[in-house]
Amino acid sequence: MSPNRQSVDRYRRHAAGYDASARRTMSLRRRAVALLDLRPGDVVLDVGAGTGLSYELLLAGVGEAGRVLAIEQSPEMFALACARIERHGWTNVWHCNAPAETVELPEPADAVLFNYVHDITRTPQAVANILRQSKPGARIAMAGMKYFPWWTGPLNLLAWAKNRPYNVRPGDMWQPWDIVETWCESFERRSTQAGMGYIARGIRRGTVD
């Protein structure tokens, strides 16, 4: 089964309880959105938007003149994001139920958010498809889980076990930011959650090889 199919199967099981399980990490979502330094009128892209937990924060940043674009491949997660939009009556969100590897975006983004989307950030084709459609100079922010330093040994079993139910590539957490980093001309990162998480920001390079 393809990694995308496996991921869709996992999120079919997680969708209903997802928002409750994500409560503990909401402060990191907020921090990642703040790193985007959004301005009124910006177009911001939420990659792997899930149930749309970041939509309200992003809309507050871009204002009424701006626009939130979002993509999400799980039909069940996407349905919850649609319900969120309807509940709030938001009109300046364009979102679509499609994989990051092949989605075509309606316009280039000024800012791109990768919040807890490990399977996407570990897939070069997905990162390339998203970032080649964003503006040169776009602000990029990301947050997620990572392994503790190697010398902490068994602690990483905990990181792996927490990641495994959600992600298809739970073993690939040493430097989960490094594919996105290759697209950036400046990149800063710091550890969170006592070393089990990271948050980062970068600027998309002006030229792409």
Ligand X SMILES: C[S@@+](CC[C@H](N)C(=O)[O-])C[C@H]1O[C@@H](n2cnc3c(N)ncnc32)[C@H](O)[C@@H]1O
User: Which residues of this chain interact with ligand X, rule CB under 6 A?
Assistant: 4, 7, 11, 22, 29, 48-50, 53-54, 71-74, 77, 99-101, 115-117, 119-120, 126, 166
Nearer Cβ to ligand X (4/156):
4
Give the C-alpha separation, 16 to 51, whole Å. Answer: 10
Minimum Å gap between C-beta 172 and ligand X is 13
Whichever of 22 and 85 has its CB closer to ligand X, that residue is: 22
Nearest of 206, 198, 141 to residue 25 by alpha carbon: 198
Cβ at position 77, least distance to ligand X in Å: 4
**Which residue, 26 or 65, has its beta carbon nearer to ligand X?**
26
Kindly give, in sequence order, each residue whose CB lies less than 8 Å from that of residue 109, ignoring residues fewer than 6 positions away. 43, 44, 45, 69, 133, 134, 135, 138
Q: Closest distance between ligand X and the C-beta of residue 108, in Å?
A: 18
Nearer to ligand X by Cβ, of 38 and 77: the residue is 77
Position closest to ligand X via CB:
50
State the burial class of residue 141 (Cβ atoms within 10 Å of its Cβ: 0-12, 13-18, 19+): buried
| Secondary structure class of 116 (helix, strand, coil) | coil
Please, are residues 145 and 173 in contact by the beta-carbon 8 Å criterion? yes
Give the shortest CB-145-to-ligand X separation in angstroms.
9
